[in-house]
Amino acid sequence: MTVKFTTCARNSPRRKSKESMLTKNHQSVVGQLLIVGFDGTDISPRVSSLLTRLQPAGVILFARNIRTADQTWRLLRECQKCVAAPLFTCVDLEGGTVDRFRDALGAAPSAAEVFATGDRKLFRKHGEIVGANCRALGFNVDFAPVLDLAFEASRSVMGSRAVSADPLAAVAYAREFLAGLRAARVTGCGKHFPGLGEGKLDSHHELPVIEKPLTRLWAEDLLPYRTLRRQLPMVMISHAAYPLVTRDRTPASLSKVWITDVLRKRIGYRNLVVSDDLEMGGVLSAAPVGEAAVEFVRAGGDLCLICHREDNILQTHEALTKTAERDSKFSRRVAEAARRVAASKKKSAKMLHAGGRATRPPAVAMVEKLSRRLWEFGEQVRLEPFGRQADKRRSRS
């Protein structure tokens, strides 16, 4: 994928032809490093034009895009028609406060609520139900589970998204949840590397600065990534700074130390690395969106997530393309990331083919079944503590 520069005369037609080919090549490759979001519950001509032009690796939908199961499935179908390569169709669906399907299917319990049952079968069932709901609506990627540890410092920010301050307990939940997603043929993603458990600020708005040495991070926050490195198809990088590790306040999402040196080399992670939304305040405090995308990819990242504004998406695509045109080393890094994305899609396609692919939107009966199953699971999670108390009383009598 790397394009070689020629030594043609500056103004020759041949040189101009080579330059146009160079730009076209980089533009097509760069698109496969982007996952983009947009407004609306149907695909407008403007969105259609954007997707056709950029040919992104994926799209991400939020509650603003999701009204009903049928409408969501059709929206994702229309997105795919604009893009030649298979799309990553992505959503954040953790349950609890991060639940994009609440209006379409009903409310899902949070990770912390499910974890509180202490029942690993329910941990897996959580992933299975979330995964089945994703598949029915047309999604193949869920940016979950959260691997951040539930330390007191981040309680007001993370709430019920984090399950435990014990990294081994967090691993126990995440392993089963991921297995549940796989059973539903949905790709999971561990987040937010290297860990927001000690973060007191919300990275959506500000840059959390976590003063924690690598030795403690390695034993605590990084343990889930170390343990699950082969089970995680994707890892999402946080917009938080760790100055005792990097010696500055560079967000982890822009840090070669974190992405290449620690995650890739020391931990040995081999799958896809995705940024958290590059429009978040935590990263924009360090660099404009286009520059942030370049630094993320330069640091070893593969997929840039831009969730909202069209101008930011275009700015990101332009910055990546122009940097690849003038910097051969960066061009090779872009090609490497694109190859990893393509390999991941090929692997996912095999999994999807083995399990079948929905060729029509979910019927009313199917939606009712999914909603009912989700409600029953929520009730099971809610009543589980009372059942344990009853069992204890019986054992004492």
Structure letter (DSSP) for residue 188: -
Reduce the DSSP state of residue 17 to 3 states and report it.
helix
Distance CA 1, CA 16 (A): 20
Structure tokens at 177: 């949840």
Looking at the DSSP bridge assignments, the partners of residue 89 are 59
Distance CA 318, CA 294 (A): 10
Distance CA 216, CA 218 (A): 5
Structure tokens at 116: 């509180």
Residue 285: which of 251, 245, 244 has the closest Cα? 251
Distance CA 45, CA 182 (A): 34
Q: Reduced to 3 DSSP states, what percent helix, strand and coil does the chain have, rounded to the nearest 5?
A: 55, 10, 35
Residue type, 243: P
Reduce the DSSP state of residue 234 to 3 states and report it.
strand
Which residues have a catalytic role annotated? 204, 276
Q: What are the backbone angles phi and psi of residue 192, rounded to the nearest 5°? A: -120, 105
Distance CA 287, CA 384 (A): 47
